[in-house]
Amino acid sequence: MKVYQIVFIMLLAAFATSVQAQTEKCERNVDLKSSDYVTTRGKNPFIKFDGRKSNHHFLSCPQIGKKRGQSPKCTINIENGFSSDVDVFIDGFYAGSIKANNKGVIDNIEKYSEVYFLSSDNKQYWKEFGDCSCVYSFKLDK
């Protein structure tokens, strides 16, 4: 009888650690250096829909906490170490803006493959690939 109890406890412990390992997402810190944005007469190829005029809003850092009953979705943390406001585009669509020398969070994203940042004065930009396999933290510098 004790052998069965020991085997059961060992199997339960192994199952619990494997489930915990599957639910934890990795974290990636990415330091990005800006590139000079060269204005052209055409549209910016990295922006599919520019909602800055109709839906302009600033991102903030909400209280992080898992809400009960909700499955975790993609989260992107952004630290703007630049002296100008920065507009954020996820897969070419406007997601919000971050004030100069401030932090912001974009969460509840179903999926994404590319993040594009453009300074509000249209002089600097940052571009990086990402996905929902990890929680990405982007730090923007000049």
pLDDT in tens, 6-52: 656 666 666 655 444 445 668 888 888 888 887 777 788 788 877 77
In SS3 terms, 60-117 reads as CCCCCCCCCCCCCCEEEEEEECCCCCEEEEECCEEEEEECCCEEEEEEEECCCCEEEE
Confidence of residue 122 (pLDDT cuts 50, 70, 90): confident
Percent of the chain whose predicted confidence (pLDDT) is above 90: 25
What pLDDT is stored for residue 102 in this prediction? 93
Cα gap 135→29, rounded to integer Å: 9
Domains of the chain listed by start with CATH number: 27-141 (2.60.40)
Model confidence pTM above 0.85: no
What pLDDT is stored for residue 34 in this prediction? 80
What pLDDT is stored for residue 65 in this prediction? 43
Give yes or no for a contact between 22 and 66, defined as CB atoms under 8 angstroms apart: no
What pLDDT is stored for residue 119 in this prediction? 92
Percent of the chain whose predicted confidence (pLDDT) is above 70: 70
Mean pLDDT of 69-77: 71
